[in-house]
Amino acid sequence: MTNRLADTLSPYLRAHADNPVDWYPWGDEAFAEAERRDVPLLISIGYSTCHWCHVMARESFADPAIAALIDDGFVAVKVDREEHPEVDAAYMAAASAFTQNLGWPLTVFTTPRGRTFYAGTYWPPLARGPMPAFRDVLAAVREAWTERREQAEESADAVTEALRQAAASTPSDLPDAAAIAAAARAIAAREDSVHGGFGGAPKFPVATTLSFLQAPLVEREAPDAAAAAARALAAMAASDLHDDDGGFFRYATQRDWSVPHYERMLTDNAQLLDIALAARDEATARGVAAFLLTTLRREGGGFGAAQDSESWIDGVRDEGGFYLRPMEQRRGLEPPAVDGKVITGWNGLAIAALARAGAALSEPGWIAAAAAAADHVLRVNRDPRGLIVRASLGGAASPAAATTADVALLADGLLALAVATGEARWAVEARSLLDLAVAGLEGDPLLAARGIAAAPDQTDGDLPSASAALAHAGLTAWRLGAGDRYRAVAEEAVRAHAAAAVGQPFAHGSLLRVAADLLDGPRQIVVVTDEPDGALAAAARGAQADVVAIVTPAQARAFADAGFELFEGKADASGSADASGLAFDCRSFVCRLPVSDPAELPRER
């Protein structure tokens, strides 16, 4: 048997390299082999910190008898969903035609062309309650392919066509303040009034939804709904979902936030850092930042994707056992592994959050860490043509293509870093990336080449959708003065999905946040000073504003020279001021007379 997974970049695939299953990685070779043998593909999708992926691997993929059934009747393909999110999304959407219990591991059976005719998630090796045995599923799917192939292919074609039609969207007007407030109240109606958060069990942090509820427009127009965000954060921070070292677990299996699913994701924690900062919960923000910097940060400066739920304790794989021990008892244990993949968009989230929090809480080390991560991603996460790719591991770039969300989230992170450091070069790089995302990315080439229906990234999952990420980056660039065309980017992205967002607000929190912010003219504060730690700068950092930039005269000129009009003329205007500098308080680029007295800079919007 050819061991095809051992040399792949993905830790998840490498973990399956010793299985008796004859695995192929995602690529043309697997499809060619399925066509040559005229057998279906079994596509198994998961990720390295997924507990039930570990379980199915131990129970089934390591079993020689089950492996023989797989190899005899199928071409088996392993996919890391974190490395190939578009592949995961495409097959997750197809799987929804066969089961409502979606999740990972995702197990999909397709025609040799890659079209889905059956799917499910975890199956045990022996029948357990309503779940059939995996070996029986394999036998039934093989029989369907050999005995009722025409029916299977018709089903696959019908799913493909249904997904293609579902991808269409009808643009509408931007939602007004009343519609935004109504959407916020609809979300708040689902609040758990006893335990905080939304819905029952399992219960997720839903950071994208919390961010929407924290929008200034929501706080003004629907204050009762906005308050639900602070209650949710407080409940989570005081619960078992929040580990002693400051990091948050993926979700809680119980309504009261107890019995966590113990994996810890970069996506959740980066976004919750922003949520805590906006809620002025400094203790929680500092705890999350510490987790990012001490646990997930990798050699070279990038941030790993996640920390596993399982670890070795007394020679046995144990889910959650490490985290259940007090901090002082953990020191003698091997900690759960960190998936070291440096994912482009996820690092963009971390860069943005650390840059904003570092500036607001006077932590230059956090800003430096954000800059190191940005340097790493921009240098390492590139293909031979110099284009940004999805991820890297150990300094080696993945061949997987970057998504629109990846590039937009990275651009947004670099814009936040530009503001936090005062260095225009980050904003220039961000603008180039944003232009690339707006122009359109190639996407996964195999999906397109095989005519496999892609699932457009239109709703929030554990991070903003592609549309929302693009809209937010466009809005941020416009606020810095990159030009009205970037506001138009944000407006177009919101219009494309506005009707769906207002109708299903819980699934579109990130897009609704942009929609709310588009309605409010931004407050932009620029302090031009040679004393970045002085009283005037401190007053600016404590003010309620959408942009707070503390720059030297030379930095202000660099921004202006690079085409960011928010900074135009401000270096020259500050030339006659003393070292403490001048503060320019602007509303939608219309600035009041500059002030040098911190008391003259209003805190409120």
Q: How far apart are CA 17 and CA 7, in angstroms?
A: 9
Tokens representing 267?
């996506």
Element (H, E) at 27: none
List the helix and strand counts (H, then E) for the chain.
26, 19
Q: How far apart are CA 292 and CA 273, in angstroms?
A: 10
φ/ψ of 252, rounded to 5, equals: -105, 140
- Residue whose C-alpha is closest to residue 477's, from 439, 435, 515, 540: 435
Q: How far apart are CA 280 and CA 285, in angstroms?
A: 8
Q: How far apart are CA 303 and CA 343, in angstroms?
A: 8
pLDDT digits (tens, 9 = 90+) for 409-454: 999 999 999 999 999 999 999 999 999 999 988 888 899 888 887 7
Q: How far apart are CA 182 and CA 538, in angstroms?
A: 36
pLDDT for the residue numbered 577: 66
Q: What is the mean pLDDT of each successive set of 10 residues along the chain, which is 605 residues long?
A: 83 95 96 97 96 94 96 97 95 89 93 94 92 94 93 86 74 94 98 96 96 98 98 98 97 97 96 98 98 97 96 92 93 93 98 98 98 98 95 95 96 98 98 96 87 82 94 98 98 95 96 97 96 94 97 97 97 74 95 95 93
pLDDT digits (tens, 9 = 90+) for 459-489: 898 899 999 999 999 999 999 999 999 999 9
**Spatial contact of 123 and 109, defined as CB atoms under 8 Å apart:** no
Could you tell me how far CA 560 lies from the centroid of its own chain? 31
State which amino acid sits at residue 157. Answer: D
- Residue whose C-alpha is closest to residue 52's, from 60, 63, 42: 60
State which amino acid sits at residue 476. Answer: T
Element (H, E) at 390: none
Could you tell me how far CA 381 lies from the centroid of its own chain? 17
| DSSP assignment letter at 575 | G
Strand order across the 264-265 sheet:
264-265, 306-307, 338-339
Q: Where are the beta strands (DSSP E) in 447-530?
A: 523-528
pLDDT for the residue numbered 576: 60
Q: Which residue has the tokens 């929804």?
A: 96
The total of other beta-carbon atoms located within 10 Å of residue 419's CB is 25
Tokens representing 501?
């967002």
pLDDT for the residue numbered 572: 85
